[in-house]
Chains A and B, each alone.
Chain A
């Protein structure tokens, strides 16, 4: 599936939720199930600092596709990370670098990606795209 097809799939999944509680129950579930990042990457080099919660992110390039693993100390942040990974992981660096992430807004979680929220997610999306750009450049070199 393309990045946009996955985004559309998530949007339709979230349409089932009537209220915020179901939505957050689901996010919390996703957060709890997120495969943890390999412990060796949970260091300061992989840390994306947020004032409120912390995020660790690692990227691997295999067969021209990027695999992301990540973790956070806050479970709602982790749930949103799980969605971002589902959307971006397994795609080429170019696709990641040029992705337009519209699903967060459409599923009503935009507030978590506001720069004032300071939970590390904005920087994480930036970092994911930078990995994409960096890996694309490396591949071309």
Chain B
């Protein structure tokens, strides 16, 4: 057995020790944090990297002739190279730093919409999109007269691929699809979606917000035209995210925002734009955020995405088994391929009540519609209780969660 074929299992105690916040007490109990799908906690190395940056490396990037500015620029551009490697993009210039996945999607919907969308065109999304991959496209459609089309979801929470095929047409100008559903955990067949769209020369944007912390993402293997994710969900800081775009598309799209950094020459008559990626990074960028994200991605790589995936799959199976044994509990989202998210409802109880009673026991879960109201409408429910796992969760978290849930249900039923 070769050592490279089988990645080592996570040393979970060591991993937990890397995350200072996890040692907090909450309402007299050790914190059980099961809301990483909303935002993940940060390993010490990310905190130290940001601290170090501000103490020793900070100056504005890209224009300074002095050494400190050059060092800051180098640190910032090194972070870009780390993101390139994380996504296996072909070039650093295909990596645009943005505030988060939401801004990445808004950038594409706005710039793409202005140039390519016109009346009668269609934008194809799915019924399981987060509001951030719905509303920007609705806005682009309103401005251009294009029409938003939606691929339906079956009862298990999987995309109905026959309908997808039907909805794709020469009127479709772009497809936007979530890689992993934040509400259902469904891993969508994005490779197949992209291949089918490309047969008709339709570009595809993938919202990878929930995929980046859990799956090995390879934008070249997927052949994605655009791929976005948020730093704070991958153990990095808030306020930084990534838009990957194929070079040909980033060249073709007009800039999103105007300002410094993104220009080559400015006169009052005409401005010429800077090269990629700077054309899309107007203003002083979030250097500390980018560098912190770089440290987070290094951390993930060091643990190994294969080991992380196996650990989370095991947790998901363990939690699913325990939850299924609870009377009246219904899991929303039972797709064949799932990442570490479990949404559920319990007969005769409201998610708000369950979430409140779990909180009293130091257990953090999310309740509500998870910014996917159309998906909740699809199931005819107001919301769910959602537990989501990350690389630092272990079986004891799940045991405490299930015991806490049973206690809450005894009080409520």
Contact = CB atoms under 8 A, between A and B. Distances in A.
A54 B383 CA distance: 12
B356 interface: yes
A76 to B, nearest CB: 5
A75 B350 contact: yes
Nearest to A31: B353
Interface in A44-97: 51-54, 73-77
Residue of B351, B355, B369, B412 with most partner-chain A CB within 10 A: B412
A73 B27 CA distance: 26
A25 interface: yes
Nearest to A25: B411
Nearest to A54: B382
B28 to A, nearest CB: 9
Given A51-B368, A52-B383, A77 B352 contact: yes
B350 A21 contact: no
Contacts of B209: none
A112 B359 CA distance: 12
A28 B349 CA distance: 11
Given A25-B411, A51-B369, A74 B353 contact: yes
Contacts of B353: 28, 74-77
B7 to A, nearest CB: 40
A7 interface: no
Contact of B352 (A21, A24, A25, A74): A74
A73 B357 contact: no
Interface residues on B, range: 10 to 19
A24 B368 contact: no
B126 interface: no
A53 B350 CA distance: 8
Contacts of B27: 20
A130 B382 CA distance: 28
B85 to A, nearest CB: 38
B411 A21 contact: yes
Most buried by A among B353, B357, B383: B353
Interface string B8-46: 000000000000000000010000000000000000000
A104 to B, nearest CB: 15
B378 interface: no
B60 to A, nearest CB: 35
Contacts of A77: 352-353
Contacts of B368: 51-52, 118
A111 B194 CA distance: 46
Given A51-B368, A51-B369, A52-B368, A24 B350 contact: no
5 contacts: A52-B383, A53-B352, A54-B382, A73-B382, A112-B356
Given A73-B382, A76-B357, A112-B356, 9 more contacts: A24-B357, A24-B411, A28-B412, A52-B351, A52-B368, A52-B383, A53-B350, A74-B351, A119-B352
